[in-house]
Structure 1
Amino acid sequence: MFTNNIPWLTALILVPLIAAFAIPFIPDKEGKTLRSYSLGVSLLNFGLTILAISRDYDFSSSNLQLSESYNWIPTMGLGWSLGIDGLSMPLIVLSGLITTVALLASWNVKKKPQLFYFLMLVLYSAQIGVFAAQDVLLFFFMWELELVPVYLLISIWGGEKRLYAATKFILYTALASIGILVSALLLAFYGDNITFNMAELSLKEIPTSLQVLIYIGFLIAYAVKLPIFPLHTWLPDAHSQASTPVSMILAGVLLKMGGYGLIRFNMEMLPNAHIIFAPLLLILGVVNVVYGAFAAFGQTNLKRRLACSSLSHMGFVLIGISSFTEVGINGAVFQMVSHGLIAASLFFLCGTTYERTHTLMMDEMGGLALKMPKTFALFTTSAMASLALPGMSGFVAELTIFLGVAESDAYTASFKAIAIFLTAVGLVLTPIYLLSMLRVVFYGQSNEKLELSQFNLDAKPREIFISACLIAPIIIMGLYPKIATETFDAKTVEVNSKVRSALPMVIQEANSYHFQSDKVKELLPAVLIN
């Protein structure tokens, strides 16, 4: 059943997938035709995304839109059920933009180009599938499908330790994703109505004790993906070994799947359990921010420093999700989109620098500003966005999250004060490690042992264009945030209302336990014990 005349979402998933399976029939050993073909497919799909949204999407509504549904594999109960709302729509647009520029960044792939571009297009299809799926089994299928291309892209086109990094990535993410399947089955089979449809699952009245169990399963999977300390250790290894296009997609889109899953499943479907777990998420978010910032200081590898920076910035998503305020949740979604653009830009420019210097060790660089002024300017602009310079999207996202926590009535004043103070410490550390990175790489004396290509050393027009495609929306969103927030305002209001409406039941259940320990009370939202 289609609620629209055109099955837009099915097309967005199938176009890159079908195009990928056509690649083996394109005779091109050097990859010149393949790269143009793959980029053309990605541009076509991104254009279809913009056309579908501009034509049939209502930004003021929180309802599911562009819905499509029919029985795919009836014997398994698997339905091809798709739809988007204010939570998934901006992430689908983000996926299209970053995948397109990542393909443009992979212009010089010479090793197994057919397999490379095949995997990139399959990965694009899986990304759209994750954000558009409205059947929990279909969501799990797309989630697993996305893991395979990333594993192969790292293990074949990565650095010297690519097999170690790829294996670590697949072990962490694949094992953790079992939590999605187990929790999904518990949700689906609870009660008289057996269903995998997300809309129907969200209507089920599930007791809090079972919600807690299901919540834990989802949380483990999304904690690895986001990632959340201490399940983050795969991230620096994966980034340091992945090629530039893969790092762009990994940081720009794939990490956001963890935040998306927490809001879509843990908050929307399990509001009672979320009320109980929110303080823990807030604590873990603060730990992410501070630990990630300190960890970045200890990294001399440029990619690993940026990876730890991503860990720190994704902590803000957790803080916003656990704020119990519309402003905080709004900030979390804004941060996912903003960080996706900023991280993709930084990792691309890191790759551009590596192509010239043939090293990722910062202490082996130095004095590159004079030799690569355009790259230096672009790198500095992206770093300023990452450290939340006013006028850029990172500032709006992090300020919104701070305000969301500050105005929350769910925590005691002392608890909020400590959380805000520690988060501010991480925020202060961010410009220090980013500016020190710029100083080491671009200032000082040049390393005489560093072999630099004197031919077209600085960023080329194609590379400047890629950076501009990512930096432009960062600045636009920073100066006029409404252009982004109006896409998900209605949805964040709905999600927060659903969580808040579950408070009376959870309060009643909490009071029935007669909490006696002050330490336990401090860890619970204040509204549960007041």
Structure 2
Amino acid sequence: MSNLPWLTIIVLLPTPAGSSIPFLPSANNRIIRWYALGICLLEFLLITYVFSCQFRIKDESIQLLEDYVWIGITNFHWRLGVDGLSMSLILLTGFVTTPAILAAWPVTRNTRLFHFSMLAMYSGQIGLFASQDLLLFFLMWELELIPIYLLLSIWGGKRRIYSATKFLLYTAGGSLFLLLASLTMGLYGSYETSFDIQILAKKSYPITLEIILYLGFLITYAVKLPIYPFHTWLPDTHGEAHYSTCMLLAGILLKMGGYGLIRINMELLPHAHSIFSPWLVTIGAIQILYASLISFSQRNLKRRIAYSSVSHMGFVTIGIGSITSMGLNGAMLQMISHGLIGAALFFLAGTSYDRTRTLLLNNLGGLAIPMPKLFVMFSFFSLASLALPGTSGFVAESMVFLGVITNNYYSSVLEGFVVATGAIGTVLTPIYLLSMLRQMFYGYRISNVWVSYLIDIGPRETFIMVCLLLPIIGIGIYPNLVLSLWKSKVESISYQYN
């Protein structure tokens, strides 16, 4: 069993299995839903097995390495492997995608294509986190575009074509820089052409070339993370996408940018990262404050949560820029935490829309009486988002700030600016989130009188919420539950900057 190509099986399973969906009976969408959910459950069980039985937590090296020559003339390999960083994000992918498929139960139009697109995203996301070849990394990065574009343009809101096109232009434009930088790294030097990430880590580049390469990768990842000012696609996309799609976007897609910054920029281009790290922490702090202020002006529920995501991902940027093990641990923990909290908030926004048929906060009010379960869940995840002590967000954001303070290379002025700006944004977060809760659940309904027709969340929706709730509390109480997964890897990365 240990000799099986487990990573290849995990990466490829969702897409080929999803390809049989067109041949399922069309008379009842129930069969399609249960089939897609069964694939996700099987995939998650395989991921859990590989993690628990094949993966060594304290080993910082690349494990379960699989290497097959794909296109020999170009030295393009199917090369997969995992360490603590990638394994934790693969677990997050499985943990968020399965509830997202369950959340898509109300979708009744073109269910075959919808569920196949969701499964194709599943393969691409796991493939990206497991890639150990830079061209394969680029391929998996690109494979995300088509299913997301379909999910946006077919099942989105009134401005779905605009938001899907904007997403495609932003991400495709960023991907061009990823391709050029990847080709340059692989072809540079007198050695044999190789895109093996482990071999590229041993290469050295002239500082000018390293800075150019760093900027190319940074632009790509800045779009996905997203880093200010490359973030404008995100509110439009989240505002129009179906909430099950939003769960994947917030829970996993944004983490691809943070992972790329750590895996490529930090590991392969350390000298350039040392130069750009003060700028990253500065931009991250500004992003937290800027997105928090913009959230106040959003009257659309999903757009307010979207700008909240932009603000929270600023902590990831700061943690990566801090170049300390404390800050980098905080950045990874923030990605996991936000993946769970962000997915939950967008799901709750979607369930609210299914019942009220509006996302405008001005048209909501008094929902706590007819829907007390929704009120309790929305309140909990909003408190988790504002980093209430005892939740995963509190630990992550605290570690990021400590990582900046303990960096001996930054001036006290820069440290003070980052901490002060980030702290103001942190103070603003509970204001706009609690204001959102007040507008939704308190007071009187303004636009309608259909209180008696509102139905509270049911068993399926409660089950999804509990699945996302438990790890948020578990990590908040015992952070080492997940920190141990990548601790040794983070220490080895940050060691080269000390």
The equivalent position to 1:134 in structure 2, one of 132, 135, 144, is 132
1:83 lines up with 2:81 in the alignment: yes
Q: In the TM superposition, what whole-angstrom CA distance separates every residue of 1:474-503 from its partner, at most 9, and x where no partner exists?
A: 000000000010001011101111233xxx
1:402 lines up with 2:401 in the alignment: yes
1:427 lines up with 2:408 in the alignment: no
Q: Which amino acid aligns with 2:393?
A: G
Q: Which residue is equivalent to 2:169?
A: 171
Change (3 A) 1:181 1:452: farther
Q: Which amino acid aligns with 2:234?
A: L
1:14 Cα deviation (Å)?
A: 1.1
Q: Which amino acid aligns with 2:284?
A: G
8 Å CA contact retained: 2:364, 2:447 = no
Gaps of 5+ in 2: none
**2:296, 2:35 → 1: CA distance?**
41
Q: Which residue is equivalent to 2:39?
A: 41
The equivalent position to 2:470 in structure 1, one of 466, 469, 472, is 472
Change (3 A) 1:450 1:350: farther
1:187 lines up with 2:188 in the alignment: no
**1:39, 1:189 → 2: CA distance?**
42
Q: Which residue is equivalent to 1:503?
A: none
Q: Which residue is equivalent to 1:65?
A: 63
1:27 Cα deviation (Å)?
A: 1.8
**2:284, 2:223 → 1: CA distance?**
13
Q: Which amino acid aligns with 1:285?
A: G
1:465 Cα deviation (Å)?
A: 0.4
TM-score (norm 1): 0.92
Q: Secondary structure at the match of 2:144?
A: helix
1:446 Cα deviation (Å)?
A: 1.8
8 Å CA contact retained: 2:238, 2:303 = yes
Instruction: Point out the more displaced range, 47-56 or 202-211.
Output: 202-211
**2:87, 2:471 → 1: CA distance?**
16
8 Å CA contact retained: 2:370, 2:452 = no
1:349 Cα deviation (Å)?
A: 0.5
Q: Secondary structure at the match of 1:70?
A: strand
**2:82, 2:199 → 1: CA distance?**
15
The equivalent position to 1:108 in structure 2, one of 85, 106, 109, is 106
Alignment of 1:73-472 (within 5 A): 73-193=71-191, 194-449=193-448, 451=450, 454=453, 457-472=455-470
**2:258, 2:314 → 1: CA distance?**
10
Q: Which residue is equivalent to 1:27?
A: 25
8 Å CA contact retained: 2:37, 2:102 = yes
**1:173, 1:334 → 2: CA distance?**
25
Residues paired across the two proteins, number: 497
**2:297, 2:336 → 1: CA distance?**
27
**2:180, 2:230 → 1: CA distance?**
19
**2:72, 2:275 → 1: CA distance?**
36
8 Å CA contact retained: 1:248, 1:347 = yes
**1:244, 1:453 → 2: CA distance?**
25
Q: Which amino acid aligns with 1:282?
A: V
Change (3 A) 1:102 1:453: farther
Q: Secondary structure at the match of 2:365?
A: coil
Instruction: Point out the more displaced range, 276-285 or 390-399.
Output: 276-285
**1:134, 1:454 → 2: CA distance?**
53
**2:450, 2:92 → 1: CA distance?**
36
1:448 Cα deviation (Å)?
A: 4.8
Q: Secondary structure at the match of 1:388?
A: coil
Q: Which residue is equivalent to 1:521?
A: none
1:324 Cα deviation (Å)?
A: 2.1
1:31 Cα deviation (Å)?
A: 1.5
8 Å CA contact retained: 1:365, 1:450 = no
**1:450, 1:16 → 2: CA distance?**
45
**2:452, 2:237 → 1: CA distance?**
27
Q: Which residue is equivalent to 2:496?
A: 498
Change (3 A) 1:19 1:453: farther
Change (3 A) 1:25 1:452: farther
Q: Which amino acid aligns with 2:370?
A: K
Q: Secondary structure at the match of 1:138?
A: helix
Q: Which amino acid aligns with 1:297?
A: F
TM-score (norm 2): 0.98
Q: In the TM superposition, what whole-angstrom CA distance separates every residue of 1:110-136 from its partner, at most 9, and x where no partner exists?
A: 100111111111110001011001011
The equivalent position to 1:16 in structure 2, one of 9, 14, 36, is 14
**1:397, 1:365 → 2: CA distance?**
32
Identity over aligned pairs, percent: 51
Q: In the TM superposition, what whole-angstrom CA distance separates every residue of 1:369-388 from its partner, at most 9, and x where no partner exists?
A: 01100000000000010000
After TM superposition, the runs of 4+ consecutive aligned structure 1 residues lying more than 4 A away are 450-453
**2:71, 2:449 → 1: CA distance?**
58
1:450 Cα deviation (Å)?
A: 5.5
**2:78, 2:345 → 1: CA distance?**
36
8 Å CA contact retained: 1:323, 1:410 = no
Q: Secondary structure at the match of 2:80?
A: strand
**1:42, 1:116 → 2: CA distance?**
14
**2:409, 2:466 → 1: CA distance?**
41
8 Å CA contact retained: 1:215, 1:270 = yes
Q: Which residue is equivalent to 1:524?
A: none
**2:448, 2:38 → 1: CA distance?**
41
Gaps of 5+ in 1: 501-530
RMSD of aligned residue pairs (Cα, Å): 1.1
Q: Which amino acid aligns with 2:457?
A: A
